[in-house]
């Protein structure tokens, strides 16, 4: 079988990486695979070192789609991906997550008779104003193999009419990568991190990420959140790697962060993990961090009104606090009075999800 692995942005590669390692280890040449980088979020820092850190090769194909509106970006990916599909004729493509590349490549493949496997299928926020929700729904509707991270995702797919035999509950490849990188972190000198000198100064802190347009592009919402985190930082320091979009909007709205908030540049996965794994809790609007904090048992407050990852709330350490500053402050005060949510690691989040996926693929 010939297989294409599709990734469009840095987080996609982190989900693809465990599958690459499993393909190398478990297929004995049964599956011939190649890596396709759509270039959806081209990052000049995505050098050979980035792929070495993930223990994967550099991509075989780079589509250089770049940015643009959702329609422009999706169209560019579809046109360029179709060219290599027609020429190379893979038997199957594997897409991950819910970005535009996931949607675009799935549609192209399906229309020319190539099967589609979707990793992280069935997740739903039930908020169709989110572009990612549309990508998830459409991709799942046309996929042949749907690999889920939690059983509520199975339920969502069955309700949408997906045949049960097409759904495979395998756990979460993002957790595979997290545990792999956490083990590797123990064998490196932390002084190699550019932010190491700061961590020596902080023994107790909160870790914050913030980047979603629904919050950072709205002056009223962002001002409310900034007021709350500035207030919190007077009692407990906050470590804040500032996303470029967020920094731009802070400057545009004239919002100032407290001097008790340590502003860091964007961090790669390993250096970010180096920080948040030791935080007393995490505040975030990221989907991935909701899951990763649950996997390591670290309390998480999510600055969103909903989540497509409900298991992090029902079983894990995640609490949805919304986007109002007062709700964040109240959650913080509850935590500081020892009202700390206890959770457990969900079923099959054990670092072997990619092995299960590859085992299924090698028998189709």
Q: What is the mean pLDDT of each run of 10 residues along the chain (364 residues)?
A: 92 94 83 92 61 88 88 96 98 96 97 98 94 96 98 97 98 97 92 93 96 91 97 98 94 97 92 96 94 97 94 97 96 92 95 97 91
Give the span between the Cα atoms of 173 and 12, in whole angstroms.
10
In the chain, which residue ranges form alpha helices assigned H by DSSP? 10-26, 48-54, 70-88, 100-111, 131-142, 151-159, 173-185, 196-199, 213-216, 219-233, 244-253, 269-276, 287-296, 311-314, 325-336, 353-361
Give the span between the Cα atoms of 207 and 315, in whole angstroms.
22
| Domains of the chain, residue spans | 2-172+349-361, 190-336
At residue 18, the pLDDT reads 97
At residue 287, the pLDDT reads 86
Superfamily classification of domain 2-172+349-361? Glycogen Phosphorylase B; (3.40.50.2000)
Q: Tell me if 2-172+349-361 shares its fold with 190-336.
A: yes
190-336 CATH fold:
Rossmann fold (3.40.50)
At residue 26, the pLDDT reads 77
At residue 47, the pLDDT reads 57
Positions annotated as catalytic residues are: 211
Tokens of 63: 């589509």
Predicted model pTM: 0.91
């Amino acid at each position: 079988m010939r297989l294409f692995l599709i990734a469009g942005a840095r987080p996609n590669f982190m989900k693809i990486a465990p599958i690459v390692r499993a393909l190398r280890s478990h297929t004995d040449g049964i599956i011939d695979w190649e890596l396709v980088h759509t270039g959806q979020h081209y990052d000049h820092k995505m050098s050979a070192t980035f792929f070495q850190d993930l223990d994967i090769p550099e991509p075989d194909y780079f589509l250089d789609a770049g940015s643009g509106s959702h329609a422009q970006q999706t169209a560019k990916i579809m046109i360029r991906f179709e060219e290599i599909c027609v020429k190379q004729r893979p038997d199957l493509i594997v897409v991950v997550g819910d970005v535009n590349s996931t949607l675009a490549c799935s549609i192209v493949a399906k229309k020319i008779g190539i099967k589609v496997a979707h990793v992280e299928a069935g997740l739903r926020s039930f908020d169709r104003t989110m572009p990612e929700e549309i990508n998830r729904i459409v991709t799942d509707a046309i996929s042949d193999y749907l690999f889920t991270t939690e059983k509520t995702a199975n339920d969502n797919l069955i309700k949408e009419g997906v045949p049960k035999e097409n759904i495979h509950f395998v756990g979460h490849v993002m957790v595979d990568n997290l545990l792999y990188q956490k083990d590797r972190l123990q064998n490196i000198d932390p002084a190699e991190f550019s932010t190491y000198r700061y961590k020596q100064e902080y023994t107790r802190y909160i870790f914050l990420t913030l980047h979603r347009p629904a919050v950072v592009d709205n002056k009223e919402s962002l001002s409310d959140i900034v007021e709350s985190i500035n207030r919190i930082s007077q009692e407990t320091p906050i470590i804040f790697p500032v996303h470029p979009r967020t920094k731009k909007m802070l400057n545009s709205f004239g919002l100032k962060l407290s001097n008790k908030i340590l502003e860091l540049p964007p961090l790669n996965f390993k250096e970010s993990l180096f920080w948040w794994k030791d935080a007393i809790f995490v505040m975030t609007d990221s989907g991935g961090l909701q899951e990763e904090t649950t996997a390591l048992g670290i309390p998480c407050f999510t600055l969103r009104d909903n989540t497509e990852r409900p298991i992090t709330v029902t079983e894990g350490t995640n609490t949805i606090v919304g986007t109002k500053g007062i709700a964040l402050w109240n959650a913080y005060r509850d935590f500081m009075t020892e009202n700390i949510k206890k959770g457990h690691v969900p079923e099959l989040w054990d670092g072997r999800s990619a092995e299960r996926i590859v085992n299924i693929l090698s028998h189709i």
